[in-house]
Amino acid sequence: MKARVHVMLKNGVLDPQGEAVRHALGAMGFDGVKGVRQGKVIELDLDAGVTEADVEAMCEKLLANTVIESYSVEMI
């Protein structure tokens, strides 16, 4: 079983990495990009007994900094 976790900066938190990407795309001639947010995706290869609640506990304790980041868990 696998889980995919998305970790993104919360809205309102400055994202300098995303801003740098947006600027670089503009400089390379890609018009029409209004905004860029960059986050992390973490793919976990899990034993059968691990539940979505376990993965959420992993997010709370290690994978995301919940002060500034939000996360979503998707079992695949």
Binding site for its own copies (CB under 8 A): 6, 8, 18, 21, 24-25, 28, 30-47, 49-50, 54, 57-58, 61-63
Q: What's the min distance (Å) between Cβ of 75 and its own copies?
A: 13
Specify the residue, 28 or 67, whose C-beta has the smaller distance to its own copies.
28
Specify the residue, 35 or 67, whose C-beta has the smaller distance to its own copies.
35
Measured CA to CA, the distance from residue 54 to residue 44 in angstroms comes to: 12
Measured CA to CA, the distance from residue 59 to residue 62 in angstroms comes to: 5
Measured CA to CA, the distance from residue 17 to residue 48 in angstroms comes to: 36
